[in-house]
Amino acid sequence: MGKFFIMVAVTTAGCALLLVFSVLDGTWRRSSRAIEEHAIRALISDWVEAYQNLDAKRMAAHQTPVIEVVDRFGRLRLQSATENEKLWSDTFEAISKKSAPPTVTVDHIEFLRPEVALVQVSWQFSEGVLLVDGDRIPPFSEIDTYVVTETRGVWLLAGHNMQEKKP
């Protein structure tokens, strides 16, 4: 009878430990996820700030060397950081430094795996975009989807799909 109680006590203790470890693991995962989400928000924030400052080099530094970009004109596959930087520097050559910056909001982050996430971001160009030749692109909004990946503790943009938001 004594062995039976010892087995019950050991089994109960084992179950209690499993429960504690599963609770701690869940807490750790939520904490880890919050840390990674904060890092992704910081990446997007810095990338947006680089955009608002028309800083192509800084934007390219936040992207993987090979990146898929889909803008309103079609799909691009950029093969190097140099191509990334050239895309943005060519874009910024047409934008006046007097153009009002867009309002940008991170709407949603969805982790597909611990090191891969989709990020939905709203861009509001309430005054449009002033071009260097004096023309103005009328006001518009975009919903952009980014694929971000984490390698060796650093989050980078690996994909960027721009979709104009219809009123």
In the prediction, which pLDDT does 24 show? Answer: 47
In the prediction, which pLDDT does 111 show? Answer: 98
State which amino acid sits at residue 68: E
- Architecture of domain 2-165 in this structure: Roll (3.10)
pLDDT digits (tens, 9 = 90+) for 26-40: 554 556 899 999 999
- 153: helix, coil or strand? coil
User: Where are the chain's structural domains?
Assistant: 2-165
Other residues' Cβ atoms within 10 Å of the Cβ of residue 5:
9
Q: What is the pTM of this model?
A: 0.77
Angle 110-115-119 (CA atoms, 0-180°, nearest 5)?
A: 30
Higher per-residue confidence, 94 vs 74:
94
